[in-house]
């Protein structure tokens, strides 16, 4: 019974804290939210005897490639790959 009573007393206090938190928080626009990566970025370039591949996660633009058979490019994931050794 005491636990229920303490819970009933604490509930309005916790609700007040939860409601107050939203009033001072800075709101980000849609454009700002699209750029948020939480510090995560990954970029890798693989050279082999028979192919060249470049992968990027939230790391910006890749090397321009006009001879790539695979060319996927968007802000979150970018992949380029070509047959033959070396970068284009």
- Predicted confidence at residue 9, as pLDDT, reads 78
For residues 44 and 6, the model is more confident at 44
* Burial class of 80 by CB neighbour count within 10 A (0 to 12, 13 to 18, 19+): buried
pTM for this predicted structure: 0.52
- Domain parsing of the chain, residue ranges: 40-88
What distance in Å separates the CA atoms of residue 26 and residue 36, rounded to the nearest whole number? 14
Structure confidence by residue, pLDDT tens digits, 10-28:
777 667 665 655 555 677 7
For residues 73 and 16, the model is more confident at 73
Is residue 6 left, alpha or beta, with left meaning phi > 0 and alpha meaning psi from -120 to 50?
Answer: alpha
Long-range contacts of 64-68 (CB under 8 A, 24+ apart): 64/88
């Amino acid at each position: 019974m005491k636990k229920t009573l303490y819970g009933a007393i604490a509930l309005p206090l916790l609700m007040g804290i939860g409601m107050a938190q939203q009033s001072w928080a800075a709101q980000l626009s849609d454009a700002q939210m699209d750029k948020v990566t939480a510090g995560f970025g990954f970029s890798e370039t693989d050279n082999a005897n028979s192919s060249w591949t470049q992968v990027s996660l939230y790391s910006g633009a890749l090397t321009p490639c006009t001879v790539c058979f695979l060319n996927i490019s968007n802000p979150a994931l970018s992949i380029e790959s070509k047959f033959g050794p070396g970068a284009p």
